[in-house]
Amino acid sequence: MSEKKLSTCLSRRKFIKAGAFSVCTLGLSKTTGCTPNRVKPLEQAARGAQIGLVTPVPSPWFKQTGASEVQCQLCPRECILAKGERSPCRVRENRGGVGYTLSYGNPALLQEDAVERKPFYHVLPGSRVLSVSTAGCNLSCHFCEVWDIALVKPEEVHNYEMPPEKVVAHAQASGVRALSYAFGEPVAFYEYMESTAALAKEAGLLNLAHTAGYIQPKPLKKLCRTLDAVNIDLKSFDANFYRNVVGGELAPVLESLKILRDEGVHLEITNIVIPTLSDDLGMIAKMCRWIADELGSDVPLHFARFYPLFRLSTLPQTPVSTLEQARETGLQAGLKYVYIAKVIGHEGENTFCPGCEQKVIKRIGFVIAEMNLKSGACKNCGTAVSGLWQ
């Protein structure tokens, strides 16, 4: 089935009927584990969500390449758009010879949840953050967990009228300690994220992002002025996997990781381990050595369990034993903090001191069950643990 037909089929079946992916949106329960697509359109409308709500805004990340053509400078695709044409990310369009972003100020998702869900294990443990996302993505992963927000047009989902200042005001009123640009792909709503992050920083909030890192160096460096922490989905260390399963290239993601390191942004990495596609331990070992050598041994690495969904629904879920082998491979490569994600209650959820090897943070899912850190150091031996703890 073609991508166009698949998108049409899915939209009819799920995200149009169920109001897309307005996950625990504004006014809903603050508890983690809220079910995304259970919110009926009428309930959303009562809370201010509108399907098709889009506010086109001219984007500075376009340059003229002809009388009416524009080229996007935001991501490695460098899409050239003729008049009236829209980019593959679904949120950038040439209108009358001017490049517009269609994802400014109209989030499809506004959700308060645990920072551990991002996942950030070394940033304000146990705190709650406000996540923001719009529709759209500049990749097309066959294993996308949020296809009903990432792989659709903004007109096809319920959106809110939430300009940057309103998002920050809502975060302050909620008492959260950070804003998180996550769930959908933040690069797709770069301009909205940049404006919101600047206001959040002024208000004393942290700015966190969970992204695939498929972005050009210039806009990423500019964004680093306001970002405090980033979790990058390093989906594989195989260039062919990126081309065939992700719809992009590996090299720009590695460059993004190096830039974040150089800019001093707190960095964590998530790697999803997919049976038969990205579970080769030799490749995982190569990736772990690269992280240790190029980024540093103190970068937390999360090995995430794959669950069958979207275009890979026929594959089995990742065996826990495979995740355990991947974690051991990371530790043997010299990485200090290697985690197993999406296996609640596993020992690999916990943080261990790199000095005395005692447990300094005990987790059960997104809940902090025990904390043995004081001012970012192990209470037992005083060894510093890298992260943003205050």
Ordered domains of the chain (ranges, CATH): 3-49+106-291+302-315 (3.20.20.70), 51-101 (no CATH)
Q: Quote the percentage of the chain above a pLDDT of 90.
A: 86
Under the banding of pLDDT at 50, 70 and 90, the label for residue 163 is very high
Element (H or E) spanning 99, and its range? strand 98-101
Residue 278 is which amino acid?
Answer: S
Under the banding of pLDDT at 50, 70 and 90, the label for residue 48 is confident
- In this predicted structure, what is the pLDDT of residue 150? 95
Neighbouring CB atoms inside 10 A of 168's CB total: 23
Per-residue pLDDT tens digits for 143-153: 999 999 999 99
- In this predicted structure, what is the pLDDT of residue 1? 39
**Residue bearing tokens 């053509």:** 69
- In this predicted structure, what is the pLDDT of residue 2? 40
Q: Are 211 and 224 in contact (CB under 8 A)?
A: no
Q: Are 207 and 170 in contact (CB under 8 A)?
A: no
- In this predicted structure, what is the pLDDT of residue 47? 61
Q: How far apart are alpha carbons 95 and 307 in whole angstroms? A: 40
Res. 28: pLDDT tops 70: no
DSSP 224-260: TTT--EEEEE---S-HHHIIIIISS-SHHHHHHHHHH
Res. 202: pLDDT tops 60: yes
Under the banding of pLDDT at 50, 70 and 90, the label for residue 332 is very high
Distant-in-sequence, close-in-space partners of 155: CB < 8 Å, separation ≥ 6: 51, 52, 54
Per-residue pLDDT tens digits for 225-236: 999 999 999 999
Token reading at 229: 């922490």
Res. 60: pLDDT tops 80: yes
Res. 51: pLDDT tops 70: yes
Q: Quote the percentage of the chain above a pLDDT of 70.
A: 88
- In this predicted structure, what is the pLDDT of residue 201? 98
Token reading at 123: 């940033």
Average pLDDT of the chain, as a whole number = 89
Q: How far apart are alpha carbons 301 and 278 in whole angstroms? A: 15
Res. 30: pLDDT tops 50: no
Token reading at 188: 């797709």
Q: Are 347 and 361 in contact (CB under 8 A)?
A: no
Res. 43: pLDDT tops 80: no
Element (H or E) spanning 158, and its range? strand 158-159
**Residue bearing tokens 């995740």:** 323
